[in-house]
Amino acid sequence: MQIMNNSAAMAALGEVKKNDTSLGKQLKKVASGMKINGAGDGAAEYAISEKMRVRTRSLDQDIENAQTGKNLVRTAEGGIQEIVNNLRDMKAMAINSANDHNTDAYRATINKEFQQRIEEIDDIANTTNYNGRLLLRGDYGDHYSYKERPEGVQQTLSLGATTISADGVYTLPVGFTGTVYVTAGQNIELRQENSSTPLHDVYIVGPSSGNANIWINGLNIENGNDASIIKFQGTDNHLTILGTNNINYLPRKDYDHAVINVGGGLTIEGTGTLNVKNTGIASCAGIGTDQNEYTSPDITINSGTYNIEINNDGAAIGGSAKSSVGDITINGGTFYLKSRTGAGIGGTGRSLNNLTPYHTSDSTTGAITIGKDAIISTESEWGAGIGTGCDHSYTKSITVSRFANISANSIHGEAIGRGVSGTVGSIDLAWDDSLVDEDTSWTLEKYLSPLVIHHGTKANQATNIFIKDMRSASLGLDGVNVSTRDKSTAALFMLDNAINYALDNQTRMGAYQSRLEYTISNLTTSNENAQSSESTIRDADMAKEMTGYTKASVLTQSAQAMLAQANQNASSVLQLLS
């Protein structure tokens, strides 16, 4: 028997410590309800579960952000609805004033209320806000204009050739024919009294020195003569599109002049729609240069909606047969383009009346650049969707942002690149124009400032909310009144455009709300799945843990009893010494 080292007692003591530690862990699991309480309980599991917790907390905030964003959009929609209500009443006033049962005095009374409604629209647009953010003033719109909206003279043009020499808004009356000449440096807006009926033999010509700034608002023109319906000259020209505009050639042969000739260079933008059509057998472009014109002007389009159909040789946007254009830059806008032997955007094709291929230098296009905010659907039969026409058409280069939304098609040519027998210098379909230096290059980001609703755990998971300017000027109601019968009938057209503009913005708000509802639903599902995953890793099975706790408790008590017994055995040595 030994008394210096009681091995049995030491062994029992070790078991007591082990069981006591195990009991402590089991007690903590039962008390906390979690099987992983720290990295020591499972390093990998702990790290994964902590990431799950971070994601869950982030998703909670994402859901709150999306719900707040939805409320913001709903506030904007409510303001727009009130504006639509006012526009509806204003149209009824205009219809009333247009009826000759009214005297001039009674029309003046109607006009007073009409003007008050315009002021009310401005009040709504200037005060509708969410958490102090004014929503309907255009601060978060998707359009920027280099030029101020025309002000000054408001006049209905007389029939025949007319020269406009002062800034202002000019209306083409029913039955108008003739050429409208715009002098240099003017800022003018052209409207049409009744856009439901097309005007014929109407031509708009910019100054020979260039620097034209023309706004078109709801024009409907169909011409049958071989002359550009809108013709710019010189450089530094600007065209702004408002409302829905139809600028068309009547079906016939031998159109050699572009429907809209860009002169020495043209920038186009706006919130409206431009429809251009030539279904005859012709050699002209929709927007571009005339046949045999080699001035190589640059074309820049920043915004707007464009539906352009060219039946034969010309490009929808670019050159007519045997002509040249400079650089074509599409920064933004929505495009539906169709051509036959020319490209949707770019070069021209051959003439069906002369099957001899053109020399390369006879049909050239500079650099085509498509920015990230462009939405383009284009098709051609023999030319490229974007690029060259057929038969030795040449394009210097094609650069397309990887963010652009492009649907380009060609039956016999390439979607982006070469038409049949065309040549392209270089093609880059992965341009990252989000990295463009705004101090030295024009980008839409320089002018757009959308409301950003962040609803994801990553930096780029957000919805941009664009809300157009809803003030009366943007609705096209500046100077509109119903003080006379003629002005009342003209007001009806302007009110129709204003209502369409407002409803377009309102339906966009509805689309945003629907999108955010789906976003909230998706985030909620992701949050539930993240919590379930975290629970599987970390939460304790209480039945299992209680079993383990009971086991550890019994073993601890048993080890303590055996330790006492081992210590008692050592004390029996005293009997040998007595």
pLDDT tens digits for 186-210?
789 999 988 889 999 999 999 988 8
40: pLDDT strictly greater than 90: no
91: pLDDT strictly greater than 80: yes
Residues with Cβ within 8 Å of residue 10, at least 6 apart in sequence: none
pLDDT per residue as tens digits for the range 314-358: 899 998 888 889 999 999 888 989 888 889 999 887 543 343 433
Q: Which pLDDT band, with edges at 50, 70 and 90, does 574 fall under?
A: low
359: pLDDT strictly greater than 50: no
Q: Which pLDDT band, with edges at 50, 70 and 90, does 438 fall under?
A: very low
Range 556-574 average pLDDT:
73
**Do 381 and 415 meet the contact criterion of CB atoms below 8 Å apart?**
no
Range 297-304 average pLDDT:
93
- Percent of the chain predicted with pLDDT > 90: 36
DSSP 359: P
Res 184: pLDDT: 65
Res 8: pLDDT: 74
pLDDT per residue as tens digits for the range 455-508: 887 777 888 888 888 988 878 787 789 999 888 888 887 888 889 889 988 998
Res 262: pLDDT: 95
pLDDT per residue as tens digits for the range 382-412: 889 999 988 778 899 999 987 788 888 888 8
Res 281: pLDDT: 63
Q: Which pLDDT band, with edges at 50, 70 and 90, does 569 fall under?
A: low
Q: Which pLDDT band, with edges at 50, 70 and 90, does 360 fall under?
A: very low
Range 411-421 average pLDDT:
88
Res 127: pLDDT: 94
Integer Cα distance of 52 and 527 in angstroms: 10
98: pLDDT strictly greater than 70: yes
pLDDT per residue as tens digits for the range 158-171: 888 899 988 889 99
Integer Cα distance of 472 and 47 in angstroms: 57
Per the structure block, which two tokens stand in for 249?
């050639």
Integer Cα distance of 524 and 518 in angstroms: 10
Res 43: pLDDT: 85
Please give the mean pLDDT across all residues of the chain. Answer: 83
Res 14: pLDDT: 81
Integer Cα distance of 371 and 353 in angstroms: 36
Higher pLDDT pick, 29 / 449: 29
Res 573: pLDDT: 65
For the ranges 300-304, 323-327, 412-416, 547-551, which has the lowest average pLDDT?
A: 547-551
Range 349-369 average pLDDT:
60
**Dihedral sign for Cα atoms in the order 256, 262, 263, 264:** negative
Q: Which pLDDT band, with edges at 50, 70 and 90, does 299 fall under?
A: very high
- Percent of the chain predicted with pLDDT > 70: 88
Per the structure block, which two tokens stand in for 545?
């843990």
Res 477: pLDDT: 84
For the ranges 29-33, 302-306, 321-325, which has the lowest average pLDDT?
A: 29-33
Res 4: pLDDT: 60
Q: Per-residue DSSP letters for 187-251?
A: EEEEEES-TTS-B-SEEEE--TTB--EEEEES-EEEE-SSS-SEE--SBSEEEEEESEEEEEEPS
Pairing of strands 451-454, 462-465: antiparallel
Q: Which pLDDT band, with edges at 50, 70 and 90, does 143 fall under?
A: very low
For the ranges 33-37, 289-293, 359-363, 569-573, which has the lowest average pLDDT?
A: 359-363
Per the structure block, which two tokens stand in for 416?
């982006």
**Do 541 and 547 meet the contact criterion of CB atoms below 8 Å apart?**
no
How far from the centroid of its chain's Cα atoms is residue 29's Cα? 52
Q: Which pLDDT band, with edges at 50, 70 and 90, does 447 fall under?
A: very low
Separation in Å, CA 412 to CA 296, 381, 421: 27, 6, 10
Res 351: pLDDT: 41
Res 34: pLDDT: 80
Range 64-80 average pLDDT:
94
1: pLDDT strictly greater than 60: no
Separation in Å, CA 251 to CA 177, 211, 281, 289, 312: 19, 32, 8, 20, 12
pTM of the complete model: 0.55
